[in-house]
Amino acid sequence: MDNISLLKMKNKTKFGIFGVFLLLLIISSFNVSSSGVSSPYWDENPMYAQPDEVKEFSYTLQNMVGTENIQMKAETEGDKNIIHLVDTNTIYNVPIGSSDVKVPVKITVPKDAKEGDEFQVGVRFTAISENKGQPVTIGAAFSKGFKVIVGKPTPIVNENTNAEVGKSLLSNQVIGFLILVVILIILLFAIKYFHKKRENK
Let me know if 75 is exposed, middle or buried by CB neighbors in 10 A (0-12, 13-18, 19+).
Answer: middle
pLDDT at position 40, please?
94
The total number of residues shown for the chain amounts to: 201
Q: Is residue 201 part of a domain?
A: no
Q: Is residue 199 part of a domain?
A: no
Q: Is residue 76 part of a domain?
A: yes
Range of the domain at 169: 3-194
Nearest-angstrom CA–CA distance, 118 and 107: 13
The pTM is what? 0.58
Q: Where are the alpha helices (DSSP H) in the chain?
A: 3-33, 159-200
For residue 61, what is the domain's CATH number? 2.60.40.10
Q: Is residue 10 part of a domain?
A: yes
Work out the average pLDDT over 102-122.
96
Q: Assess contact for 149 and 116: CB atoms under 8 A.
A: yes
Q: Dump strand ranges (E) for 43-100.
A: 47-49, 54-63, 70-78, 83-85, 91-94
What strand order describes the sheet that includes 47-49? Answer: 47-49, 134-150, 118-131, 70-78, 91-94
Q: Assess contact for 84 and 76: CB atoms under 8 A.
A: yes
Nearest-angstrom CA–CA distance, 195 and 173: 33
Q: Is residue 95 part of a domain?
A: yes
Q: What pLDDT, in 10s, does the model give residues 6-37?
A: 455 555 555 555 554 454 444 444 444 455 88
Q: How far is CA 18 from CA 12, 32, 69, 186, in A?
A: 10, 21, 27, 14
Q: Is residue 153 part of a domain?
A: yes
Q: Is residue 200 part of a domain?
A: no
pLDDT category at 1 given cuts 50, 70, 90 is: low
Range name among 83-97, 99-113, 181-195 with the lowest pLDDT average = 181-195
**How many structural domains compose the chain?**
1
Q: Which range has the top average pLDDT, 33-37, 42-46, 83-87, 192-196?
A: 83-87
Range name among 8-17, 50-59, 76-85 with the lowest pLDDT average = 8-17
